[in-house]
């Protein structure tokens, strides 16, 4: 099932990382609708009013596909701020 992201900063981050040519200023309340499948993110950009009218459960397609490695960690449920697994043992000794 597709997921919806309504936070403009997160949507902007996604499009900056993927280098997609979406212009968010065209949307009053943009919603990024996406699904992760086989290490790829399939996504579309919707206007919130339109998505509310049709319902997220009725979205069955997407406009573009990106490799998951080029997408923000929050799409995979990874929280950057609390992730300490990136630290090396050497860093802990300092």
Where in the chain are the domains? Answer: 3-77
pLDDT value of position 91? 58
Which DSSP symbol is given to 77? Answer: T
How many angstroms separate the CA atoms of 7 and 24, rounded? 12
pLDDT value of position 90? 55
Tell me how far CA of residue 3 lies from CA of 10, 60, 92, in angstroms. Answer: 13, 11, 37
pLDDT value of position 78? 80
How many angstroms separate the CA atoms of 70 and 26, rounded? 24
- Which residues of the chain fall below pLDDT 50? 83
pLDDT value of position 3? 95
pLDDT value of position 88? 55
Q: Please give the model's pTM, rounded to 2 decimal places.
A: 0.78
Tell me how far CA of residue 41 lies from CA of 25, 56, 71, in angstroms. Answer: 23, 16, 8
């Amino acid at each position: 099932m597709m997921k919806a992201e309504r936070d403009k900063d997160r949507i902007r981050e996604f499009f900056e990382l993927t280098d997609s040519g979406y212009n968010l200023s065209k949307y009053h309340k943009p919603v990024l609708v996406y699904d992760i499948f086989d290490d790829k993110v399939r996504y579309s950009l919707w206007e919130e009013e339109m998505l509310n009218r049709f319902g997220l459960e009725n979205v069955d397609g997407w406009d573009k596909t990106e490799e998951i490695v080029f997408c923000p960690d929050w799409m995979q449920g990874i929280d950057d701020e609390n992730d300490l697994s990136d630290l090396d043992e050497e860093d802990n000794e300092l």
